[in-house]
Amino acid sequence: VTEPDLKGRHVVVSAGGTREPLDPVRFLGNRSSGKQGYALARTAAARGARVTLVSANTGLPEPAGVDVVPVGTAVQLREAILKAASDADVVVMAAAVADFRPATYAAGKIKKKDGEDPEPIVLVRNPDILAEISTDRARPGQVIVGFAAETDDVLANGRKKLERKGCDLLVVNEVGERKTFGSEENEAVVLGADGSETPVPHGPKEALAETVWDLVARRLG
Ligand code: PMT
């Protein structure tokens, strides 16, 4: 039996991967399926929370009893998160957000020209949503959780990222072409701003989600 320990709480979860368009046909994207974020949304709803799920390009079925806000790009995801976070008790950023986007958008499909080299793709920085909502908290006592997708020096990079972003908890997971992305399982260490480290062994993405909510519920008091 699941304890309704998030009853009366509004939690916001982001899931999936942003797509940054180059033209009407192409985009720069990443391998996130959205499964980890959806597992967080489902388990929070089961624990009694009102859940807003900001979902970027997942194609997953909408979880029952969850308010889904679909978005495409990092800029759209930021807008949706800022709006939902204004009255939220918790924000969990499980989405893989593009750090950069193409500087220009071509209104028509970019064509290859015979004998000419391709144009380089120029990128500009996207806003860092997690850092922004951690620095400018919408409500006192709001708990903010980030994820860190790392391929090497996983824990050391995670610690640095936690400090840089300023969130309360950071879920550090290792990723690769066939690791974590799209799979039903995950394994992670949850780092706390208080110096705590909670290892979560390899298992279903729901199990990691439940550990995140345990740690969040403790912080909500
Ligand atoms: O979707 P799945 O296939 O189930 O895979 C799950 C996952 C690997 C995508 C997920 O567990 C995960 O790690 N999500 C975060 C991916 C990511 O973008 O990590 P990052 O280390 O690049 O970013 C760190 C944190 O900052 C993240 O919480 C991210 O949402 C946030 N961020 C990043 C860039 C940006 N411009 N704004 C942000 O808010």
Domain limits, the chain: 10-100+120-220
- Residue whose Cα lies nearest atom 21 of ligand 1: it is 148
Vertex 126: Cα angle to 51 and 158 (nearest 5): 70
Mean pLDDT of the chain: 96
Listed in sequence order, the residues at least 6 apart from 220 whose beta carbon sits closer than 8 Å to its beta carbon are 9, 89, 90, 141, 143
**CA of residue 56 to ligand 1 center, whole Å:** 12
Contact 123, 100 (CB under 8 A): yes
DSSP string, 145-190: EEEEEESSSHHHHHHHHHHHHT-SEEEEEE-BTTBSTT-SEEEEEE
pTM: 0.97
pLDDT for the residue numbered 215: 98
Candidate from 30, 93, 163 with most ligand 1 atoms within 8 A of CB, to mutate? 93
pLDDT of residue 2: 77
- What pLDDT score does 1 carry? 64
Catalytic position from the list 30, 57, 126, 173:
30
Residue 25's identity, in one-letter code, is: V
Tell me which amino acid residue 195 is. Answer: G
Binding residues for CTP are 99, 109, 127-130, 147, 161, 165
- The model's confidence at residue 3, banded by pLDDT at 50, 70 and 90, is confident
How far is the C-alpha of 205 from the C-alpha of 202, rounded, in Å?
9
pLDDT of 214 higher than 80: yes
Amino acid found at 219? R
- Domain spanning 10-100+120-220 has what CATH number? 3.40.50.10300
DSSP annotation string for 123-150: EEEPP-HHHHHHHS-SSTT-EEEEEEEE
> Does the active-site annotation cover 126?
no
Distance 93 CA to ligand 1 centre (A): 7
Query: Is the pLDDT confidence value at 153 over 90?
Result: yes
Please state the atom number of ligand 1 nearest to the C-alpha of residue 96: 18
Closest CA to 169 of 38, 1, 18, 40: 40
Q: Give, using CA atoms, the residue closest to atom 20 of ligand 1.
A: 148
User: In b/e form, how buried is each residue of 167-201, taking b as 16+ CB within 10 angstroms?
Assistant: bbbbbbbbbeeebbbeeeebebbbbbbeeeeeebe
Size (the chain), residues: 221
Mean predicted confidence (pLDDT) in 72-94:
98
Pocket of ligand 1 (CB under 6 A): 32-36, 74, 93-97, 99, 126, 128-130, 146-149, 173, 175, 180-182
Ligand 1 atom nearest the C-alpha of 35 is 4
Residue labelled with tokens 């260490």: 189
CA 34/CA 15 separation, integer angstroms: 5
Q: Which atom of ligand 1 is least distant from the CA of 186?
A: 11
- If pLDDT is split at 50, 70 and 90, which confidence band does 51 have? very high
